[in-house]
Chains A and B, each alone.
Chain A
Amino acid sequence: KQEVTQIPAALSVPEGENLVLNCSFTDSAIYNLQWFRQDPGKGLTSLLLIQSSQREQTSGRLNASLDKSSGRSTLYIAASQPGDSATYLCAVLEYGNKLVFGAGTILRVKS
């Protein structure tokens, strides 16, 4: 059974810092990996999608990498801002199209 783990569970940083969120998964037979953002009381917003054949994806200040063989992904946020404060969720899409989520990392960026 696929298990997705995110470390750290919570992170508090001063504004302007670069930071890394980690995601690991136990079964490397995945179709893709997706990073989401969730604001309190809101739904999930897709940030980045990495196909299993890709190594990384970038969008603005966000960069996500994927090492499928080792079952790891990282989300790098450059020059963090208070508006980046949210919960960040990692999810892997298994063959059979089942999307399995980690528990998330709660990020707080202090101004």
Chain B
Amino acid sequence: DAGVIQSPRHEVTEMGQEVTLRCKPISGHDYLFWYRQTMMRGLELLIYFNNNVPIDDSGMPEDRFSAKMPNASFSTLKIQPSEPRDSAVYFCASQGIGEAFFGQGTRLTVV
């Protein structure tokens, strides 16, 4: 398995634009997590899914953020409209029984 795959690796966008981040979890993993990492706040859990169903989205900062998991092999995190304070590295992770595995992250810069 190629591990958790995220795309794009880097995204630079203008304030007000819509941003969509993508994640392909490891096949067979039941859980998928979206995290945001900044210097100031460290790693923050935004939302996680179990068997494609959102379980806890209490970490989603605002209504501008939304996440979907239409099937077991794909998830998206959308920010609309984006703001400069959304600039961060966004990680996706998946977990089966035991360890959680992380993707390489998407570095988002909103200018």
Contacts and interface: CB of A to CB of B under 8 A. Distances in A.
7 contacts: A43-B91, A46-B100, A46-B102, A98-B45, A99-B100, A100-B45, A101-B35
Nearest to A6: B42
User: Size band of the A side of the interface?
Assistant: 20 to 34
> What DSSP secondary structure best describes chain A's contact surface?
strand
Contacts of A97: 31, 48, 50, 55, 95
B33 A99 contact: yes
Contacts, number: 47
Interface of B: 31, 33, 35, 42-43, 45, 48, 50, 55-56, 91, 93, 95, 98-105
A32 interface: yes
Interface string A59-89: 0000000000000000000000000000001
Interface in A1-60: 32, 34, 36, 42-46, 49
B31 A44 contact: no
